[in-house]
Chain A
Amino acid sequence: MSLVHEVDYGTPRSRAAKTVTLTIDGHAVTVPEDTSIMRAAMEMGTQIPKLCATDMVEAFGSCRLCLVEIEGRPGTPASCTTPVAAGMAVRTQTDRLKRLRKGVMELYISDHPLDCLTCAANGDCELQDMAGAVGLRDVRYGYQGAKHPDPGKDESNPYFTYDPSKCIVCSRCVRACEEVQGTFALTIAGRGFDSVVSPGMEEAFLSSECVSCGACVQACPTATLTEKSVIQIGTPEHSVVTTCAYCGVGCSFKAEMRGDEVVRMVPYKDGKANRGHSCVKGRFAWGYATHRERILKPMMRERIADPWREVSWEEAIARTASEFKRIQAKYGRRSIGGITSSRCTNEETFLVQKLIRAGFGNNNVDTCARVCHSPTGYGLGTAFGTSAGTQDFDSIEHSDVVMLIGANPTDAHPVFASRMKKRLRAGARLIVIDPRRIDLVRTPHVEAAYHLPLLPGTNVAVLTALAHVVVAEGLVNEAFVRERCDWDEFQDWAAFVAEPRNSPEAVAKISGVPAEAIRGAARLYATGGNAAIYYGLGVTEHSQGTTAVMAIANLAMATGNLGRPGVGVNPLRGQNNVQGSCDMGSFPHELSGYRHISGDATRALFEAAWGVSLDREPGLRIPNMLDAAIDGSFKGIYIQGEDILQSDPDTRHVAAGLAAMECVVVQDLFLNETANYAHIFLPGSTFLEKDGTFTNAERRIQRVRKVMQPKSGKADWEITLDIAKAMGFPMHYDHPSQVMDEIARLTPTFAGVSFDKLDALGSIQWPCNEKAPAGTAVMHVNGFVRGKGKFIVTEYIATDERTGPRFPLLLTTGRILSQYNVGAQTRRTENVIWHEEDRLEIHPHDAEQRGIRDGDWVKLASRAGETTLRALITERVAPGVVYTTFHHPGTQANVVTTEYSDWATNCPEYKVTAVQVTPSNGPTEWQERYDELARKSRRIAPFVEAAE
């Protein structure tokens, strides 16, 4: 094994279609127009010395090291800023150039510390490399230069240091922050020898606007910005390309290793989802993998009040199987089930649902998409015929209008948000539909053309009002609709949306959004060029979540914004493999590839492959499982990598459901909140410890590659195999690639997928089959998967969760950049420095009415329950609306959320809860009781060797 080295071409790739031919050092080379000479030289294998140039940012031309001579032109221009021209003859190495470069390097080195042997970048320093490249043997100006003013290292950021004495003021970090990340947190302060990189207004990195994405560290050619892990461990010696296990963007990383220790995670430039960028979670927050709280041995206990007892794998697996068999014998075949993990691989997810359907003999399998994007599956499946986003992420580069609904990508999908911001800075217009004034409404060099701050729960009304404007003002793309969609259904729909009750003026009274804003946004979406919709859980997690997804599909079809780059309907998926877990047949009513379990032909295919008969009836969904547990008909559950106690709504109901079961088996990295109610704990493995694939929000299947052995001794897929064998349904696989081969045999949209092909192509977007052997970037290009696109009438039905005198405010919940979902991973990293607790955002008006000051403890109460947390007074939320995150179990935000759910899928209505907020001076009774329960539940008895 060795380090994966990526070629740095010095400047970005030109997108020009036309090519030109020139000669460099006498060799002809043909490149696209607008390519820099530096890049053209690199493409033929000649590396022109450089310091300020790197292909992640535009050329800057400041270091004067990349000079070349061009026949017929005076001087020695910088090759990074000089574009190629037809017939141009370039010389990259002449006596004059050698002299000039050496002179430049002398100046750099005269002002740079020469502590190379003890420098963290020793062996990985471009300044060092360039000194070698130009043949620097002496520095005429001596080595005692003034150096940069050295105010000392800035070590405030938990993950990297800033050492100004090593800075060569190349501005790569400043440009990366602007061009790649789009935060504009850095600048160069001072002039001449006083020049230094300055975060914000000459602040420390930690207190500046810096979002710790790592782009500056990656861009830095010296040790000025260096990962603390490199300083502590040393430089890596080999690397493996793998996929991030955080959000649904699916960034590719090089896991850079020394032995089996991760030194750093570096975003992979060839990663088609992230194109070499990263966020604070994927880049830095992987320390949870070796956190002291990880459980590495199986554990069991008779009752949840007992302490845990460490046992052998054999004992834990045997007990799991015997308990499940006992329960089925006593309560019936359908009395047990399981939950697949959207954090695990496709192969692991497929095996869990196979175990349940074929080994348990029922379809009681569900996944966390139940509580996030299940309405996307139902809504887009009904409208288009397939339940996934229509585009790839590259599509954003062709968008003229972006409509962002109920999503906050700068926090939840930060790497894609950076690409979106880049396009917006280039001129695309933005419409934000969100109750909160999210960052994208107004952020450096980006301002939304329209922000529709609708009242939580009124999505369908506003989306239908947008459609009203499209229809009433003659903005329908009739040619597209006539060709691609069911015309009769369109006419029914058009008549419905045109009704006066759906006009912006009528909807303004319901939603609180001014009619003119709705009209303006609709006109922009329908007439502004390529218009793309991106949406998140602010759309789906409502009692009308599915209806809202259908309304989005209607809008896109009516305006012809489907079937080509730059447009489409794009659900931003939450977890790393939530798309994959849905694709793999994790829903109780369908097998892999979204085929209903009642289909005789589909079932027969699986029955023949698996050698068992399958139940033709749909199984229980997660909320139904909990209801059935309380009712006494559901008694055992196998939960792989999902913390339903913290993540699912109405925590007390979830707790009651779990407590009513006779055998709860939790497979996870840590003793999570759900494990407080578990009888058997099976230690899981991180994404670093196994092979497999994840599928991201753009349907892109990417490899996860093992870089170390599973710390518990078994990868998650191996544990599922052991349970299956003990249950009497042995499944034989030697490697996850064989599971993917089976998936491909049984799933038409995956028919052409294999590990070999993934290794060859890097990644594949499904559908991948005979018709599309390399995958499919954009869906529905020549027609919809279902045939004709289906327009669906979207009647607005107000949620039954209403404000009133007792609960006058509306609570909505979401994520923050530094934390991830239930926080099991990110809370066990240095990321807690940015978000050590959940806070309640409240408008100054509402706070003042209640006598609440910023930072005060407040009680947040709904009819479901109450909790306490500290207040954050902000105008990001409108009067009457409050907001919090759900990352910390101490807060348990879901104690407050209710059992209301989407009509079609039971996706919980997290985004609308009527609440009251009052000053508080201590934790609630529930928090105190729960804290006590959690403390007791996590006791582990000392290990006792079994007697001979």
Chain B
Amino acid sequence: MSPDKLVYMANQIGKFFAHQGHDKTVAGVADHLARFWDPRMRDAIIAHLEAGGDELDPCVREAVVKLLAAQHNAGANSKSS
């Protein structure tokens, strides 16, 4: 998936939540990506983050970090179960 398009879409989501302040914006974007983005889209934006995360707005970048952490946790849980 084109990182440029995904970054644009993620930043768009971030702008909607922006007025809610830092913490709620990060949580709101992360939740939206988890609930509405197909796994390959999430993987692609995480890959983009890991490659430097160019053009991701600060709160959106943090949301993608949160998404990555959630994926690690889910992976860890599934391995332990």
Contact = CB atoms under 8 A, between A and B. Distances in A.
B76 interface: no
Given A628-B1, A631-B2, A620 B20 contact: no
Contacts of A364: 38
B38 A795 contact: no
A609 interface: no
B73 interface: no
B79 interface: no
Contacts of A624: 1, 38, 41
Contacts of B20: 793
B13 interface: yes
Nearest to B5: A627
Contacts of A546: 16
A904 B35 contact: no
A618 B38 contact: yes
Contact of B38 (A496, A617, A901, A905): A617
By size class, the interface of chain B is 20 to 34
A619 B38 contact: yes
Interface string B46-80: 00000000000000000000000000000000000
Contact of A795 (B2, B12, B16, B39): B16
Contact of A543 (B12, B36, B39): B12
A547 B19 contact: no
Interface string A587-622: 011000000101000000000000000000111110
Interface string B1-35: 11001000100110110111000000000001011
A633 interface: yes
Contacts of A793: 19-20
A543 B20 CA distance: 20
Interface residues of A, number: 29
Nearest to B16: A903
Given A628-B40, A795-B19, A589 B13 contact: no
Contact of A334 (B2, B15, B35, B39): B39
Contacts of A588: 38
B15 A797 contact: yes
Nearest to B38: A620
Nearest to B10: A903
Given A547-B16, A903-B13, A589 B2 contact: no
A624 to B, nearest CB: 6
A563 to B, nearest CB: 27
A546 B16 CA distance: 10
B32 A904 contact: yes
Given A627-B2, A631-B2, A589 B36 contact: yes
B27 to A, nearest CB: 15
A484 B7 CA distance: 38
Interface in A539-587: 543, 546-547
A301 to B, nearest CB: 29
B16 A496 contact: no
Given A795-B18, A904-B16, A598 B32 contact: no
Nearest to B20: A793
B15 A617 contact: no
A546 B2 CA distance: 24
A548 to B, nearest CB: 12
A496 B2 contact: no
A903 B9 contact: yes
Nearest to B18: A795
Q: Chain B interface secondary structure, helix, strand, loop or mixed?
A: helix
Chain A contact residues: over half helix, strand or loop, or mixed? Answer: loop
A496 B36 contact: no
Nearest to B12: A903
Q: Which of B5, B19, B36, B39 has the most CB of A within 10 A?
A: B36
A633 B44 CA distance: 12
B2 A903 contact: no
Given A631-B1, A903-B9, A904-B32, A334 B38 contact: yes
Nearest to B8: A800
A289 to B, nearest CB: 37
A589 B35 contact: yes
B19 A334 contact: no
A558 B15 CA distance: 24
A793 B9 CA distance: 20
Nearest to A496: B19
Contacts of A596: 35
A431 B18 CA distance: 32
Contacts of B37: 618
Interface in A492-515: 496
A594 to B, nearest CB: 13
A598 B34 CA distance: 10
A297 B39 CA distance: 38
Contacts of B41: 620, 624
Nearest to A544: B16
Nearest to A906: B9
A899 B2 CA distance: 13
Nearest to A625: B38
Contacts of A903: 9, 12-13, 15-16
B36 to A, nearest CB: 6
Residue of A633, A903, A905 with highest tally of chain B CB at under 10 A: A903
Nearest to A619: B38
Contact of A618 (B9, B16, B36): B36
A334 B5 CA distance: 21
Nearest to A335: B40
B59 to A, nearest CB: 14
The winner among B5, B20, B32, B40 for most chain A CB atoms within 10 A is B40
B20 to A, nearest CB: 7
A585 to B, nearest CB: 15
A627 B1 contact: yes
Nearest to B32: A904
Interface string A81-99: 0000000000000000000
B67 to A, nearest CB: 13
Interface in A759-797: 793, 795, 797
A412 to B, nearest CB: 28
B15 to A, nearest CB: 5
Contacts of A633: 1, 40
A946 to B, nearest CB: 42
A899 B9 CA distance: 11
B16 A617 contact: no
B24 to A, nearest CB: 11
Contacts of B1: 624, 627-628, 631, 633
B39 to A, nearest CB: 5
A627 B8 CA distance: 14
A171 B40 CA distance: 65
Please indicate which of the listed interface residues A496, A547, A618, A905 has the most CB atoms of chain B within 10 Å of its own CB.
A618
Task: Please indicate which of the listed interface residues A334, A598, A624, A905 has the most CB atoms of chain B within 10 Å of its own CB.
Answer: A624
Nearest to A597: B35
A795 B34 CA distance: 23
A617 B71 CA distance: 12
A543 B39 CA distance: 23
B35 A598 contact: yes
A898 to B, nearest CB: 12
Contacts of B15: 795, 797, 903
Interface in A357-384: 364
A904 B13 contact: yes
24 contacts: A334-B38, A364-B38, A496-B19, A546-B16, A589-B35, A589-B36, A618-B35, A624-B1, A624-B41, A627-B1, A627-B2, A628-B1, A631-B1, A633-B40, A793-B19, A793-B20, A795-B15, A901-B9, A903-B9, A903-B12, A903-B13, A904-B13, A904-B32, A904-B36
Given A628-B40, A903-B12, 17 more contacts: A546-B16, A547-B16, A588-B38, A589-B36, A596-B35, A598-B34, A618-B36, A620-B38, A627-B2, A628-B38, A793-B19, A793-B20, A797-B16, A901-B9, A903-B9, A903-B13, A903-B15
Interface of B: 1-2, 5, 9, 12-13, 15-16, 18-20, 32, 34-41
Nearest first, the 5 A-B pairs at minimum CB distance are A903-B12, A620-B38, A617-B39, A793-B19, A631-B1
